[in-house]
Amino acid sequence: MRTLVVDLLGGLGDLIMVLPTIHALADADPGGELVVLTHAPGAVLLERDPAVTAARTAEKHAERPAVGKALEELTPDLVVCTTRFDGIGDLVDDDAAARGTRAVTNLWRSPPADELVGERYQRILVTEGVIPGPPRPPRIVLGDDERLPDAESGTVVLVPDAGMAVKRWPWWHELVERLAGRPVVSVTPVEGVPTWEPTDLRTLAARFAAVGRAGGVVVGGDTGPVRMAAAVGAPTVGLFGPTLALRYGLEEGRNLQGGPDCPHRLPTAITEQVCWWDGHCPLSTTGPACLESLPSADVVAAIG
């Protein structure tokens, strides 16, 4: 059987959240073909994954044509699609109906606020009889030749940046002061902290794995690199503000929620939140009030 997984939601974290579904689909059809259609930045994380026969990529703003081309060229027996914008879900459903094959495109159906997104995907597919349960966490596969020397024991890695202003925690300098005496490094610049040299995503994943083997911790916001660290086995601390940790938290990690009672948060419709696109918070003039309310002392306690 040939299975096509379409994940074009746009973020590295989105792809990582669908990895357990990819692996469950491969386990459900040993010997079958499994092709993933996603965006180029994250596709490299699939390169050494034995569950993935091939990875195809789509350009931003040209996703629908890429899906149409994949359907025409691959003629898949099963399509699992996380993406419905620009009529992509309807395109997949119509193709399956025309060819008499199977498609599951409604993975966002009636989501509860307290079920992790990646687990929700899997539970729906179990209900549909497509994969076996129970839900599993994300895993990124690294080759033995990608293994790096272990990091300094107990290193704390900071991931201070995020693709959206609304996800940026403001207290990194306080955290660094509280971590005095411990080895600390940052993925992107933080004053007074050594910064890792820029690298490709697979090497970054290998660095995170080396930190985890040495008893270190990776800490950062709701962003792809933090999810990547967790998916290679590094202990992680996720800092959640506008997104609800009960829905978007790390499957394996310590999740800290800022502003749990924010009246503007929409856990199952985050893109409709008043703060989402421009980072403007109606409760603060200096930044997201939810993340401002998450103190550095709590983060230190979670790091351990």
| Three-state DSSP state, 246 | helix
The alpha carbon dihedral of 257, 262, 264, 267 has a sign of positive
Q: How far is CA 67 from CA 55, 72, 84, 87, 99, in A?
A: 13, 9, 11, 11, 16
Decide if 250 contacts 137 (C-beta within 8 A).
Answer: no
Domains of the chain: 2-127 (3.40.50.2000), 145-303 (3.40.50.2000)
Sheet holding 184-186: strands in order across?
184-186, 156-159, 217-221, 236-240, 254-257
H helices present in the chain, as ranges: 12-28, 40-43, 63-74, 88-99, 117-127, 172-178, 201-213, 224-231, 245-248, 289-292, 296-303
Name the token pair of 15: 């792809």
3-class secondary-structure state, position 174? helix
CA 210 to the chain's CA centroid: 20
Residue 104 backbone dihedrals phi, psi, to 5 degrees: -125, 105
Q: Give the Cα separation of 249 and 237 in Å (integer).
A: 10
Respond yes or no on whether the N-terminal peptide bond of residue 134 is cis (omega within 30° of 0): yes
Per-residue pLDDT of the chain (304 residues; tens, 9 = 90+): 999 999 999 899 999 999 999 999 999 999 999 999 999 999 999 999 999 999 999 999 999 999 999 999 999 999 999 999 999 999 999 999 999 999 999 899 999 999 999 999 999 999 999 999 899 999 999 999 999 999 999 999 999 999 899 999 999 999 999 999 999 999 999 999 999 999 999 999 999 999 999 999 999 999 999 999 999 999 999 999 999 999 999 999 999 999 999 999 999 999 999 999 999 999 999 999 999 999 999 999 999 9
